[in-house]
Amino acid sequence: MKTLVVFLLLMNVSQHASAVESYEGNSFVLPCQFPTERFPAPSVVWSRSDLSPPTVHQRQLQGDELKDQNQRYSGRTSMKTDSLETGDLSLNLTNLQLSDSATYTCSVRNFGDELSRSDVQLQVKERFPSWAKALLVLLVLLVVSGGLLFHFRQYFMSVPWVEVDSGVESVQLICKTTVCLPKDAKVEWKDANNRKVHVYENGSDQPEKQHEDYRDRTKMKRKVLEPGDLKV
Ligand SMILES: *[C@@H]1O[C@H](CO)[C@@H](O)[C@H](O)[C@H]1NC(C)=O
């Protein structure tokens, strides 16, 4: 009876393939089933024919046999301890890498004779595709450079520079507008300490609004509504 079962199974050496996908860094279980419990000396070899050595994982009745295992899979493969008793020959592959994308073959043997062979095609995908990474890098660069530009903005803005000796009678600070100002435009000169140096509003100077340090020391050109020059 047992030989008949073996014969029928041998006649039926399965050759099917399936495709699965996962993401890098994940662990993934490559499926494989075969009623190994019906055989006296079963073993299973997971392999990749495109690698040398091709062995990814090997399980015998005594346990795992990993001396021929390809270095790439060192410490990253495992099968259920009772797999040869239950027939669940699935391979748990951990810490998936992009280079793990390949076709894996699950080969079931009895006394070295192959009983079954099935392929699983694994596709490992990038967690973040490269365009998303590029976009992220671009965004970070934009934010950082924007922040730097804002922080050091005074170095990038060209400020007119007027140099005079102390005690000189007067200096003219020039400020010109390129647009035509309305009649009720307000002109305000301030110093670095935010003190009002000169205020012009509603068509006339507003000395009461300026800081006392500048009282009677400023004069704005009369044709104020086109160029606005200030004399201190
Ligand atoms: C696969 O192995 C890893 C590491 O040993 C374990 O954390 C994970 O639970 C296993 N996956 C399955 C489905 O058994």
Domains of the chain and CATH, by start: 9-125 (2.60.40.10), 176-229 (no CATH)
pLDDT at 177 over 90: no
More confident residue, 5 or 18: 18
Q: Quick one: pLDDT at residue 11?
A: 47
Query: Could you tell me what percent of the chain has a pLDDT over 70?
Result: 84
Ligand 1 and 80: CB distance under 6 A:
no
Ligand 1 and 27: CB distance under 6 A:
yes
**Tens digits of per-residue pLDDT, 133-169?**
899 999 999 999 999 998 888 776 666 777 888 888 8
Helix (H) or strand (E) holding 176: strand 172-176
Q: Quick one: pLDDT at residue 224?
A: 47
Q: Quick one: pLDDT at residue 165?
A: 86
Distance CA 213, CA 232 (A): 11
Atom of ligand 1 nearest to the CA of 29: 13
CA angle 211, 214, 215 (to 5 degrees): 90
Whether residue 139 contacts residue 131, with contact meaning beta carbons closer than 8 Å, is answered with: no
**Tens digits of per-residue pLDDT, 58-81?**
999 999 999 999 999 999 999 999
What is the Å distance from ligand 1's center to 4 Cα?
Answer: 37
Distance CA 98, CA 65 (A): 26
Q: Quick one: pLDDT at residue 15?
A: 55
Atom of ligand 1 nearest to the CA of 92: 1
**Tens digits of per-residue pLDDT, 90-131?**
999 999 999 999 999 999 999 989 999 999 999 999 988 888
Closest-CA residue to 6 (of 83, 107, 118, 116): 116
Ligand 1 and 29: CB distance under 6 A:
yes
Tokens standing for residue 187: 């002109």
Ligand 1 and 94: CB distance under 6 A:
yes
Tokens standing for residue 115: 């009983």
Residue with CA nearest ligand 1 atom 10: 92
